[in-house]
Chain A
C-alpha cells in the first residue's frame, strides 16, 4: 500500500468500520512500517474519539416538548376539519395585521369613550391620529359581525371605491358568531396573500397588490376578507 492510498482509508481504519478485514490489515501493516502514516492514523483515531464523544454528548438532545404538543394540536385540527384537508399555517404578516386591527379597535374604543365623556371631546385631528395609528389601515368601521358574507353588503364603501365581492370567511379563523363585533381594516396586500387567506383568487391574474377589506375580530385575527376596487 502506498501512502496516498493509505490517506484515503485512514479515517475509516481509525473507526474500524466500513473497511473489509483484508483492507484493514493491509492498512495497519502500512501504518506500522511508515512513521508518517502511523502519526496520521494516531491523529485520525483521536479525531474519531472526539467526534464519538460529541455524538454521545448530543444523543439526548430532542425537540422541545412544545413542538410535539403544537403538532398534535395541528394534527387534531386537520383531521377534525375534513373539508379542508390541507391546513394553512397563518402567515407571519397576518399576525402583524391582526395586531394592527386590534390596535385600531383599541383606538376606536378610546375615541368613543372620550367622545362620550363631557369635557373630553377630542379634536378631529386627535381623532384622526387615534384612528390612524395602524399604518396600513386606510379606513376602518366598527361593525356588527352577525353575518359573514352578507354583513358587508350594508356597509358603505369608501369614496372612489366599489366592492368587488362579498366577505369570504378565512379558514381556521374560528368563524364569526352572531352578535360578535369586529373592525373592518382596508389594506393593500399581494394577490398571493389573499390566496393564503383562502380567498378564491384567480391564480393566473399574476402578482401585484390588491385592495382588500379584512374583517378583524376582537381576538385580533382576520375572520373574513373581501376585495375592493
Chain B
C-alpha cells in the first residue's frame, strides 16, 4: 500500500518524463535535502555531496529511469542512486573520509529557539556544537557499511525497512549492522558520553552604565 507522498512522487515522475519543469523542481525540492545530508555524512565533504545530488537528478534528466514503484518508493530509488555514487567517490579516493575542515553553515541550534522557545546560553551552545562535531567525526570514522546504516537510521531517522530497501539487504542485516555500529560509536565517544557533574557557570554582572 503506497502512501499519498509516494503516489505524488510517481505522478511527478511521469510529468518529468514529458518535460514538465515544475514537476522536476518539485521532485528536486522534495528529495534533495535528505540526499545531500546522506552524501555529506558519508563523505564528509560538502562539494562531494553537491556532486552526488547533481548526479542523481541528472539521471532523471538524461532519460527513462529504471524506477519500479512495486519495488519501493521513489525516495528509496533515489537514495540507491546516491549510494552508488557515494561508493564510487569513496573508492576513488579513500582520503575523502576525513573530517571536513569546515562543515557547511546552517548547523546551529536556532531550531531550539524557534520551536522550543528556549534560549541557549553561549556555554551550552558551544558544548552542543563541540559534541555534534565529535559525533560527526565518529560517524565518519566508521567503516562504510556501518556508517551508512547510522546515517540512514539515526541521522536521517528512516525506518529499518526503508534502510533495508535502500541498502538492498534484509531488515535483520540492517538491525545487526546498526547494533554493531552503535556499539562502535559508543566506544569512540566514551569520554563524551560519560555522565558529567553539573557545572555551575558564574556569569559576571554587567555594570550599570552611567
Which A residues have a C-beta under 8 Å from some C-beta of B?
8, 11-12, 18, 42-44, 46-48, 50-64, 67-68, 70-72, 74-76, 78-79, 85-87, 89
Contacts and interface: CB of A to CB of B under 8 A. Distances in A.
A78 B62 contact: yes
Nearest to A42: B195
B92 interface: no
A76 B57 contact: no
Chain B interface helix/strand/loop/mixed = helix
B37 interface: yes
Nearest to B161: A18
Contacts of B189: 47, 50
B40 A61 contact: yes
Contact of A54 (B58, B62, B135, B186): B135
A61 B136 contact: no
A68 B182 contact: no
Contact of A71 (B36, B49, B61): B61
Interface string B24-48: 1100110011011100110000000
A80 to B, nearest CB: 9
Contact of A87 (B32, B61, B106, B195): B61
Contacts of A46: 193, 195
B36 A51 contact: no
A57 B25 CA distance: 25
Nearest to B174: A18
B186 A43 contact: yes
B179 A8 contact: yes
A87 B128 CA distance: 45
B54 interface: yes
A63 B132 contact: no
Nearest to A71: B57
Nearest to B19: A79
Given A18-B160, A72-B25, A89-B58, A60 B111 contact: yes
Which 4 pairs between the two chains have the least Cβ-Cβ distance? Answer: A79-B19, A54-B135, A63-B36, A11-B182
Contact of B131 (A53, A68, A71, A74): A53
B50 interface: yes
B185 interface: yes
A54 B33 contact: no
B109 interface: yes
A157 to B, nearest CB: 37
A67 B41 contact: no
Interface of B: 19, 21, 24-25, 28-29, 32-33, 35-37, 40-41, 49-50, 53-54, 57-58, 61-63, 104, 106-109, 111, 128, 131-132, 135-136, 139, 150, 154-157, 160, 175, 178-179, 182-183, 185-186, 189, 192-193, 195
Given A63-B33, A63-B35, A63-B50, 11 more contacts: A8-B179, A11-B183, A50-B189, A51-B155, A51-B185, A58-B155, A61-B106, A67-B50, A67-B54, A75-B61, A86-B62
A68 B32 contact: yes
B152 to A, nearest CB: 11
A46 B155 CA distance: 15
A57 B175 CA distance: 24
Contact of B104 (A8, A43, A61): A61
A61 to B, nearest CB: 5
B150 A68 contact: no
29 contacts: A8-B179, A11-B178, A11-B179, A43-B186, A44-B182, A46-B195, A47-B185, A51-B150, A53-B128, A53-B135, A54-B155, A55-B155, A56-B111, A57-B109, A60-B107, A60-B111, A61-B37, A63-B32, A63-B36, A63-B54, A64-B50, A68-B28, A71-B24, A72-B24, A78-B61, A78-B62, A79-B19, A86-B63, A87-B62
Nearest to A45: B193
A131 B126 CA distance: 58
A57 B150 CA distance: 15
Nearest to B60: A75
A196 to B, nearest CB: 14
Given A50-B193, A51-B135, A57 B154 contact: no
